[in-house]
Structure 1
Amino acid sequence: MKNAKEILVAALVLAVGSAHGQEDAAAQVGLMVEKGIESLEWGLLLEAEGAYSKTGDTSASDIVLATVEFVADAAVNDWLSGHVGLLWEEDSTENNILDEGFITMGGGEAFAVFAQAGRFYLPVGNFETAFISDPLTLELAEINQSSVMVGYDSAWISLAAGVFKGNDEEAVENVYAAADFFISERVRCGVYFLSDLMETGSQSGLGITEKNAGAGAFANLYLGAFMVNAEFVSALEDDGLAGTPMAWNFEGSMNFAGAWAAGLKVEGSDDLYSADGRYHEYGFGGVVSYGFQEHAAIGLEYMRLLGDSGEDDADLVTLQLAFEL
């Protein structure tokens, strides 16, 4: 009895052969499809979270399915591949789950130069973290847009640059560039530039139409079971709302006793707003997690958030159960 892969390949080959009446063309397409299916790699991530917060005398709690993410990659040959990413987040992306979809030509072990087209997260920011909550640098600079990008990868450097059209623009007017340096197995650092920081996920909802470029830098240090991350990103001018948005994050984490991990961090921001309001000016806290099974882990995080006045100070505790394939 044929498996699902064999049946799918046979159906596609038959369809192409019937449409064109050329057995050779059908066979070639069939081989490409079969290779694409055989190279298919996929992943699934589920995250359920319970949270408790207290701001002044006001407390709140919630339980959410924070993340349902599915990704798939397939390559039809050494220089052509495709990627699809679906993301569902409760109260966030429920109405549009297509997170990424792009085609890559080149790259990998066979080609140092590559080109990529589609919708993807632009290489603006590193955002590496051991915490459940996102760092403030991600809140400011993460951007997911339809774009065309070219780049170069080697063992010690990765370069990328591209263009995209802003949310309320009539033409392709925005550019970005990034450089990552793999100094050694223990040290990675990088810099990046975005011609309009007001197009990122948090800033695009502020209604600011004037362009405001942004830039950032990061460094990751790997010392066996220990890791240190530092990142800084800022707009280059006043955003026309309340100042020059800026964010930074510094954290250290370690793995111990096999399946355990723990981390500490401190972060800060200035003039950082989103459509939901102002982000905290300082935050510090810790996280601990335990991988109780190869594909599952549970984590507990505490963060102390400090605003521009004592009334804005908050305590946040998050418990997360994660499942990943």
Structure 2
Amino acid sequence: MKKLVLFACCLVLFALPLSAQETASGDEKSTQKAGGVKSLAERIQRLEEAIGRDTESDKWYDRIQISGLIEVEAGYRKFEEKNDPAADTKESDVDLATVELVADAKIAKHVDGHVMFKYEEDEVFVDEGFIALVGTKSFPAYLIAGRQYLPFGYYDSHFVTDPNTLVLGETNQGAAVAGYRIGGERVDLSVGAFKGEIDKAGDDDAIDSFVAAITAHPLDFLMAGVSYTSNLASSDSLSAVIEENGTTELTDRVGGWSAFLTIEYLDRFKLIGEYVGALDDFEAGELYSPATLDKKRSPTAFNVELGAMIIEDLGLALRYGGSDDGAGVLPEKQYGAVLNWGIGSCNLAFEYLHDEFEDTGLDVEQEADTLTAQLAVAF
């Protein structure tokens, strides 16, 4: 609760001077350069552009659109163990971090096939693969069926490193998601069903997890939304941690909720705020390491960022975030800055982050300082 109150206060302090102004270019939306974290809204926008494009003919090669992203990163990290200085470590590396190759095929009017191949951590895999059915202006409904990022959370960021909210809540699953839009793009309602990676002990192997989201864009400079999942443990990060403990079943499913707010002013300033949290406790020993067997867990995370364009194509952003019940996986506190320089279709980013980890159950007190340089190109 303490973190939630702090998160709300940060939003109010940042939002008051921005919301008191009127945007000078309401019909223009700022676009995120290559690099950084892609929000769920950005993924949806790219899909809409692919579906809505005109094709020159009915030939198959005119109906396919190819796009992609390449990210190369160099990093330095200093890790300090407060209770054991001899365990301090330093590491550095430069490598190909991510490659994405996306193919969108316009099958027919209002029908699109979408596949994204991804290279990450020395593995190549299908990150997304689905069929999208989109309605008309008079009936603005849609259906997305296949492997996709579920509409839980927003996860927008100016930074190279994922925000804590994304680490906790992002969920990529096979699912069916249906939605409906009201007032053009002013309000988006969506619901979905999926079979989670982690389930309740004794339950059938069936589709029994659900997600729902409401996103509102009441003013050109303001966007807000809330979302719900009935199975937070099936998020990408939590499911991996639970499986490392040797199980895919829990005493009961634990739901989660998320809320976000973004405010843009003059296409120059942008505030991002988000909170993600569990709605109940995970039983002792179900999350994280066996050393925490005597403690229930209710993980939460928040992220607040304020970005500003210094000059055209050169932006600076600040972040403050953190978590509760991170158990050494999510930092209790995180703050830093990033400088983004857009060079045509490329983005050069320089990022600094400071993380503080603390868990009384594990008697852990650690700090990490990370410097990252990323060169990214989108095509």
Identity %: 34
* Corresponding residue for residue 227 of structure 1: 270
2:326 aligns with one of 272, 286, 296: 272
Query: Does residue 187 of structure 1 match 2:211?
Result: no
| CA RMSD after TM alignment | 2.1
Say if 1:32 and 1:299 are closer, same or farther in 2 by CA, change over 3 A: closer
Q: Point out the structure with max Rg over C-alpha.
A: 1
Task: Show CA shifts across 1:234-260 (max 9, x none).
Answer: 001111244100000000112232121
Q: State the shift of 1:121 in Å.
A: 0.3
Distance 1:239 1:188 in 2: 32
Distance 1:244 1:203 in 2: 12
Q: Given that residues 33 and 76 in structure 1 are in contact (C-alpha distance below 8 angstroms), is that contact kept between their aligned partners in structure 2?
A: no
Q: Given that residues 198 and 234 in structure 2 are in contact (C-alpha distance below 8 angstroms), is that contact kept between their aligned partners in structure 1?
A: no
Distance 1:39 1:109 in 2: 22
Question: What pairs up with 1:199-238 in 2 under 5 angstroms?
Answer: 199-205=234-240, 206=242, 207=247, 209=250, 210-224=252-266, 225-238=268-281
Query: Does residue 155 of structure 1 match 2:185?
Result: yes
Task: Show CA shifts across 1:16-67 (max 9, x none).
Answer: xxxxxxxxxxxxxxx9992654243221100011111111242111222111
Query: Does residue 178 of structure 1 match 2:213?
Result: yes
1:300 aligns with one of 340, 345, 350: 350
* Corresponding residue for residue 131 of structure 1: 159
Distance 1:197 1:32 in 2: 44
Q: State the shift of 1:87 in Å.
A: 1.1
Say if 1:168 and 1:288 are closer, same or farther in 2 by CA, change over 3 A: closer
TM-score (norm 1): 0.83
Say if 1:168 and 1:233 are closer, same or farther in 2 by CA, change over 3 A: closer
Say if 1:159 and 1:62 are closer, same or farther in 2 by CA, change over 3 A: same
* Corresponding residue for residue 46 of structure 1: 70
SS at match of 1:308: strand
Question: What pairs up with 1:141-152 in 2 under 5 angstroms?
Answer: 141-152=169-180
* Corresponding residue for residue 69 of structure 1: 100
Q: State the shift of 1:78 in Å.
A: 2.5
Say if 1:300 and 1:109 are closer, same or farther in 2 by CA, change over 3 A: farther
Unaligned runs of 5+ in 2: 1-54, 81-87, 200-204, 288-295
Q: State the shift of 1:104 in Å.
A: 1.0
Question: What pairs up with 1:28-107 in 2 under 5 angstroms?
Answer: 34=58, 37-56=61-80, 57-91=88-122, 94=123, 96-107=124-135
Ranked by relative contact order (alpha carbons within 8 Å, sequence separation 6 or more), the top structure is 2
Distance 2:60 2:165 in 1: 37
Q: Given that residues 123 and 160 in structure 1 are in contact (C-alpha distance below 8 angstroms), is that contact kept between their aligned partners in structure 2?
A: yes
- How many residues are paired up? 288
**Deviation above 3 Å: which 4+ runs of structure 1?**
107-111
Distance 1:243 1:162 in 2: 26
Say if 1:238 and 1:33 are closer, same or farther in 2 by CA, change over 3 A: farther
Q: Given that residues 160 and 179 in structure 1 are in contact (C-alpha distance below 8 angstroms), is that contact kept between their aligned partners in structure 2?
A: yes
TM-score (norm 2): 0.72
Distance 2:198 2:356 in 1: 34
Q: Given that residues 49 and 319 in structure 1 are in contact (C-alpha distance below 8 angstroms), is that contact kept between their aligned partners in structure 2?
A: yes
Distance 2:147 2:207 in 1: 14
Say if 1:32 and 1:165 are closer, same or farther in 2 by CA, change over 3 A: farther
Distance 2:56 2:107 in 1: 5
Distance 2:59 2:220 in 1: 33
